[in-house]
Chain A
Amino acid sequence: MVKLTSPDQLVSYREKLQAARKQDKPCVAICGGTGCRANRGLEVARTFRNILKKKLLGEKVDVRITGCHGFCERGPLVVLLPGGTLYVSVTPDDVEEIVTASIEGDSIVERLTYQMPGTKKRVSRELDIPFYANQQRLVLAKSGKIDPTSIDDYIVVGGYASLAEAITAMEPDEIIRWVEKSGLRGRGGAGFPTGRKWRACRQARGYPKYVLCNGDEGDPGAFMDRSIMEGNPHSVLEGMAIGAYAIGADQGYIYVRHEYPLAVENLRIAIDQAQEYGLLGDNILGSDFSFNIRISRGAGAFVCGESTALMASIEGFSGEPRAKHIHTSEKGIFGKPTTLNNVETWANVPVIIDKGWQWFAGIGSENSKGTKVFSLVGKVKNTGLVEVPMGTTLRHVIYDIGGGVADNRKFKAVQTGGPSGGCLPADELDLPVDFERLTEAGSMMGSGGMIVMDDRTCMVEVARYFTKFLTKESCGKCTACREGLLRMDELLEKITCGRGCAEDVELLEEVGVYVQTNSMCGLGKTAANPTLSTLKYFKDEYISHVVERRCPAGVCKELTTFRIDGAKCRACGKCIKSCPVEAITGEKKVAHIISQDRCIKCGACREVCPFDAVVAP
C-alpha cells in the first residue's frame, strides 16, 4: 500500500512509476466516455483484450480505457500510443484487423482513419486532424491518455505536483494572488473572478469553511463537466485541495448531477485512492493541512445548478435559491463560509500552479483568460468536446473545428449558454467567444454548451422549447419567474400552433423583460434570454407564424404542409420507407405523393430525401 508522507516521496514515487513503465510500450487507448460507451466502446475494449491475449500479446501491449477523447461524432475512438494513430467509428468486428495490421504489423487500416471532407484525404495521426489541431487542450490534455480509475496514471503525467508545491512552498495568500492575477473566471456560467471569490472566503469569519464543486451541469446539450469528472477526476480533487488550502477550508463536497452515474463512480474511486495515498484526508503529504471531500448527488432539478439551491440540496432540502444579500462566501452551506466553483474552474487550478499565472494570463482575450471547453452539438458535422482559448471566434469553432453545418445545410444560428443563453445569427459568427462580448450580443458564455442550428430549425420553436423547460424547472418561489414563464409558454404555444397574433408577439417581449427584471435568482433573471434573443434576431419568423400562418423552417406542424416536388423527385422510395404512418405512395419512375390526410408532419421524409424533393412551402 502506498502512503506518501512528503512531497519528496511523491517525486520519488512518480520517478519509480515512470521508470517501471516503458515510455514506448504500445498502448491501445480506448475512449471510455459515456458517449462511446453507449456506442459499444467497452465491447471494443474487451475484444482488444481477448484478441491480444489469444495472440500472446497481452503482456506486450496495454489496453487502457481512458477519459473522453472529445471527437464524439466519430466514436468509438481508439488511439494507438505512443505513435498517435487514431481510428474512428471502431466496432468490435474491426479489432482483429487493427491488431494484425497496426500492432503486429506496421501498417494503417485506412478505412478506419479520419477522412477529410472535400479532398477525401485520409489522416491517421490524431494531432493532424483539424478537429484536434485547431484546439488548445489544457484542461482536457490528459483525459484521452489516462485511465481515470488509476491514480498512478495521473501521478505519472505530473498529477498532484501542483498540490505538493502549493502546500509546501507557497503561502495561502500567494496562491490567491496567483489565481487573481491569472484572470481565471468561473466556468459555470456567471464568470465571476475566481481569485476574488477565494479571497472573500478567506477573509470571512467562521469555522469550518467549505469548498464545493458544482457538478450539476443541467444545461441540455452540455457535457463538458461530465467528461472532466469521468475522464480526469483527480484534476478536480487536486484543484479543490489547492483551493481549500488557500481559503482555510478542511471540508469539501462535490455535487454531481443524478444523471451522471459514471462520474459519481469515478470520483468515488479517485477520492478513495487519493486518501489511501495521503493526497487527501488528514495531514496531506505529511503536512498540517487536512482536507476531506464527500460526494453529494443531485436528484433531477436544473435549479440546483444555482449556488444557494445547490447548497440547500446538500443540506437535505429542496433546491430553492435564496437572495444573496449576504454572500455565500460569508454564509454558505450550513451557514458557514463557502467557496463554490464549477468543475472546469477547479480543473484549471493545478494548471495555473504548474505553469504559472503569467503563462495562463497570456492565453485568451483581455478580460477572459485561459481556455474554455465547449460541447459542440446540434446540426454540426463534428459533434464533440472542444477546448479553445477565450477570444476564439464562433466561426473558428463551428467551421474549422466543427467542420461546418451537418449535411452541408445553411447555418442559421448558434445557441450558447443553455436555457440561460441566447441564439446568435450568421452575422455574429465572427464574434469572439468571451464573457463580455457574448453578453453584449444578447447571449452568454454559460457553462459551455454550443448548439448549432440550420435552416430547418424554427427559432420560435426553439424559444418555446427552452421556455417550456424552464417552466418545469422554476422552483416556484418568485411570482415573476413562476407565473411569467407560464404566460410566456402559453403565448409561444399559441404562436407555434397557429393561433397567435401580432399582439401576442408584443406581449411576449413585454412579459420576457418583466421576468428578466423581477426574478431573484440566475434562473429567472436569464430565463427570457432565448425568447428575447430570437425576437431580436429572428423577428421575421415570428411574423410569419402570426401573419402568414406559416412556419418557414417546416417544423411547427400546424403551420407546415409537406409536399413532394415532382420535378426533383427521383422515385427512389426512401421517403416511403421512412414514413412511420405510410402516408407516401409511389412506384418506380413515378413521382411520389404525400397523403395530407395521413401525414403527421414528422419531417422524416424530408430528412432522408437525397434530392431535397420534399418541400414545406
Chain B
Amino acid sequence: MKHKKVDEIIDKYDGEKSWLVMILQDVQQEYHYLPASALERTASRLGISLSQVYNVATFYSSFSLTKRGKHLIRICDGTACHLRRSSNIRDEIKRHLGIEVGQTTADKKFTFEAVACLGTCALAPVMTVDHEYHGSMTPDKVRRTLEQYK
C-alpha cells in the first residue's frame, strides 16, 4: 500500500526506464516533492540503480527532495522581468517572508523559488502563487498579494 501511488505512476509508463524524468514529475505532482522512499521504489521497479535516479532527481531544477510549503511562490527572473527590476520583487518577498530563494518558511506556509522565464513578458515583472499569475508587480503589490494567502 505504501508504494501504491508510485506503482500506479510507473505502470502508466509501462515500467519503461526511458520515462524516468516524466515518472519523477508525476510522483512530485502527487506528493509535492520527491520522497526518498519513492526514489528507491522507482529505482527498484525500473531496474536501475538508485544513484541513477538520484542523479536525475538532482540534475533538473524543477525537482525538490524536501517538502514544500503549502503555497508555492515563484518569481520570474527572465530577462524582461529582470530589466523591469524583478530583483526588487525578489527582495520584497525575502523581506516579507524572511526566507531566501529556494527556502520554505518555518511555519511551512510558503516556499519561494525563482524561475528563469515564465513567458509572460508583457506582464513583467511577474510572480506566481500556486500557478496563479500576478503581473506588473511592485513591492507594494507583493505585500498586498501575500497578505491574501496568510
The reply to whether chain A is a binding partner of chain B is yes
Q: Which residues of A are interface residues toward B (Cβ below 8 A)? A: 34-35, 37-39, 72-73, 75, 217-223, 226, 258-260, 296-302, 313-319, 334, 375, 377-379, 383-384, 415, 418, 449, 451, 453, 457, 465-466, 469, 472-473, 578, 580, 600, 602-604, 607
Given contacts A302-B116, A377-B80, A377-B121, 8 further A-B contacts (CB under 8 A): A38-B133, A217-B119, A258-B60, A299-B25, A317-B52, A383-B121, A449-B79, A602-B85
Contact of A299 among B21, B55, B85, B138 (CB under 8 A): B21
Using CB atoms, name the residue of chain A closest to B83: A378
**A260 contacts across to B, CB distance below 8 A:** 119
Query: How many A-B pairs fall under 8 Å by CB?
Result: 143
Within 8 A of A (CB), among B41-84: 52, 55-56, 59-63, 77-80, 82-83
**A473 contacts across to B, CB distance below 8 A:** 116
A258 and B25: CB pair below 8 A?
A: yes
**B78 contacts across to A, CB distance below 8 A:** 220-221
A259 and B60: CB pair below 8 A?
A: no
Given A221-B80, A316-B20, A580-B140, check contact A259 B56 (CB 8 Å).
no
A469 and B121: CB pair below 8 A?
A: no
> Secondary structure of the B side of the interface?
helix
* Interface membership of chain B positions 80-124, coded 1 if the CB is closer than 8 angstroms to chain A and 0 otherwise: 101101001001100000000000000000000001111111111
B88 and A602: CB pair below 8 A?
A: yes
B79 and A73: CB pair below 8 A?
A: no
Given A465-B82, A603-B85, check contact A297 B119 (CB 8 Å).
no
Least distance between B26 CB and chain A CB atoms (Å): 10
Using CB atoms, name the residue of chain B closest to A226: B119
B119 and A259: CB pair below 8 A?
A: yes
Least distance between B77 CB and chain A CB atoms (Å): 7
**B148 contacts across to A, CB distance below 8 A:** none
Least distance between A59 CB and chain B CB atoms (Å): 33
B60 and A300: CB pair below 8 A?
A: yes
| Bound complex: CA A296 to CA B77 (Å) | 25
- Does B24 make an interface contact (CB < 8 A)? yes
Least distance between B64 CB and chain A CB atoms (Å): 10
Given A35-B120, A220-B117, check contact A602 B135 (CB 8 Å).
no
A299 and B24: CB pair below 8 A?
A: yes
Contact of B122 among A73, A299, A300, A607 (CB under 8 A): A73
A39 and B123: CB pair below 8 A?
A: yes
Using CB atoms, name the residue of chain B closest to A40: B133
B121 and A316: CB pair below 8 A?
A: no
| Bound complex: CA A604 to CA B117 (Å) | 22
A38 and B120: CB pair below 8 A?
A: yes
Least distance between A34 CB and chain B CB atoms (Å): 6
| Bound complex: CA A80 to CA B20 (Å) | 46
Q: Which residues of B are interface residues toward A (Cβ below 8 A)? A: 17-22, 24-25, 52, 55-56, 59-63, 77-80, 82-83, 85, 88, 91-92, 115-124, 126, 133, 135, 138-140
A35 and B122: CB pair below 8 A?
A: yes
Given A221-B80, A453-B83, A457-B83, check contact A314 B18 (CB 8 Å).
yes
Using CB atoms, name the residue of chain A closest to B143: A580
Using CB atoms, name the residue of chain B closest to A602: B88
**A607 contacts across to B, CB distance below 8 A:** 85
Using CB atoms, name the residue of chain A closest to B52: A317
Least distance between A9 CB and chain B CB atoms (Å): 33
| Bound complex: CA A72 to CA B119 (Å) | 11
Given A73-B122, A578-B138, check contact A220 B116 (CB 8 Å).
yes
| Bound complex: CA A332 to CA B77 (Å) | 33
Least distance between A570 CB and chain B CB atoms (Å): 21
B83 and A602: CB pair below 8 A?
A: no
**A221 contacts across to B, CB distance below 8 A:** 78-80, 117, 121
Given A219-B117, A600-B91, check contact A384 B122 (CB 8 Å).
yes
Least distance between B146 CB and chain A CB atoms (Å): 13
**A219 contacts across to B, CB distance below 8 A:** 117
Contact of B56 among A75, A318, A415, A418 (CB under 8 A): A318
| Bound complex: CA A350 to CA B52 (Å) | 40
Least distance between A350 CB and chain B CB atoms (Å): 24
Contact of B59 among A297, A301, A334, A451 (CB under 8 A): A301
**B21 contacts across to A, CB distance below 8 A:** 296-299, 313, 316
Given A72-B122, A218-B116, A259-B118, check contact A316 B17 (CB 8 Å).
yes
| Bound complex: CA A600 to CA B94 (Å) | 14
B62 and A465: CB pair below 8 A?
A: no
Given A222-B117, A318-B60, check contact A604 B25 (CB 8 Å).
no
A316 and B135: CB pair below 8 A?
A: no
**B120 contacts across to A, CB distance below 8 A:** 34-35, 38, 72, 223
Contact of A377 among B79, B116, B139 (CB under 8 A): B79
| Bound complex: CA A421 to CA B117 (Å) | 17
Shortest 4 CB-CB contacts between residues of A and residues of B: A38-B133, A299-B60, A318-B59, A300-B62
**A375 contacts across to B, CB distance below 8 A:** 121
B123 and A378: CB pair below 8 A?
A: no
